[in-house]
Amino acid sequence: MDNENHDFFTIAVSPLPSLRCAVQRKRIGVLTSGGDCPGLNAVLHGVVSAATTRGFEVLGFLDGYEGLLNPVRYQRLDAVSVAHISHLGGTILGTTNRGRFVAKVGAGKKSVIPREVLQQARETYLGLGLDALVCIGGDGSLSTSLQLQQIGVNVVGVPKTIDNDILATASTFGFDSAVSCVVDSLDRLHTTARSHKRIMVVETMGRHAGWIALHGGLAGAADVILIPEIPFHLSKVADFAMERSGSGLPSTMIVVAEGAHPAKGRVSTLKNIPQVRGEVRLGGIGDYVAREIEKRTRQETRHVVLGHLQRGGNPTALDRILGTRFGVGAMELIAKKKFGHMVSYQNYEIGGVPIAQAVARIRTVPPKGQLVQTAREIGICFGD
């Protein structure tokens, strides 16, 4: 079953139950599911290092939950295999948001994973003699872990999303890295915008929550921020840009989240894209806003879509630390046998909350919250 390096395995589900009696050490599994995110490898480093200290063996399943199914795909993880990976972007285990475990179909909506799929995963869990399974993912992936918990798999969740929209945790790793990408982009675009006296529109990620656009726009000196929680009027945005031009400010920087939409319009989706199971593909709002604003102001307007640049690259120092703490926190929950719980960050401390509570709904930007009010006080327009 082992290959020459004794670290990578591809085996069928059927013979797994016979392995149970041979397992002497405590053993856990870990996987990364959903979209990639800066800080995932820091979490893996935290999980494996803390597990090794506590005497656990760790199996890392490849390509998310799909690695639990036939053919089973996993890799042994130890202190050597996770050494010096915390600074790396992506995930050494691979991930996917497609396949037989797609559980997210819209804002706060989850689909039910077929019973036979869940049972296959449970057979793998039992056959490999696992004591627990650490599931690192967003609200859709955590919903899947909850369904596994309900059929007898001891799961512990770790919240992962650059959108920072998971309830019951004040922050998630990857968010700071995504915001830093937005800020760096705005810093670069400000110079060309001023030089050419242009209006620039920067489209960020943020399907249902505008945290990236709000934090990135505020830190990156945006003049207009458009988010899903505050429907906007193009006429008000155009008037604002023209007022700036008339007062001697030659350029205007507009940050728009991909899920933002006009007050009397819908979110913008990509056309001619084959639909697969899961959420619809958003896109095009930056182009739409740029075209409409140029039409109304008669000022040259360009747009930039940051897209997956926000997901890629190495994590910031904050995300490396937070990811590591989340990984260690997951092992603490396992040690306390608090299964069905998710690691949570509140008041600068790592704790745990029931996964069911965490995925009940997504966390969105309060339109009248302090952060939005701060932005308004310094003159940022939200188009409302």
Residue 163 bears catalytic tag: yes
Q: Could you say which DSSP state residue 308 is in?
A: G
Contact between 199 and 256 under an 8 Å Cβ cutoff? The reply is: no
- 36, 63, 139, 163: which is the annotated catalytic residue? 163
Retrieve residue 35's tokens: 């979209």
Query: Strand locations in 218-259, DSSP E?
Result: 224-226, 252-257
Taking the C-alpha atoms of residue 149 and residue 339, their distance in angstroms, rounded to an integer, is 8
Contact between 199 and 300 under an 8 Å Cβ cutoff? The reply is: yes
Taking the C-alpha atoms of residue 318 and residue 332, their distance in angstroms, rounded to an integer, is 21
Taking the C-alpha atoms of residue 221 and residue 248, their distance in angstroms, rounded to an integer, is 17
Q: Which residues pair with 262 in a beta bridge?
A: 232
C-alpha distances in angstroms, 114 versus 111, 212, 255, 374? 9, 34, 40, 46
Residue 240 parent element (H or E) = helix 234-246
Peptide bond into 71 cis (omega under 30): yes
348 dihedral zone (left: phi>0; alpha: psi -120 to 50; beta): left
Report the side by side order of strands in the sheet with 252-257.
224-226, 252-257, 199-204, 301-305
For the CA atoms of the chain, what is the radius of gyration?
A: 23
Catalytic residues: 163
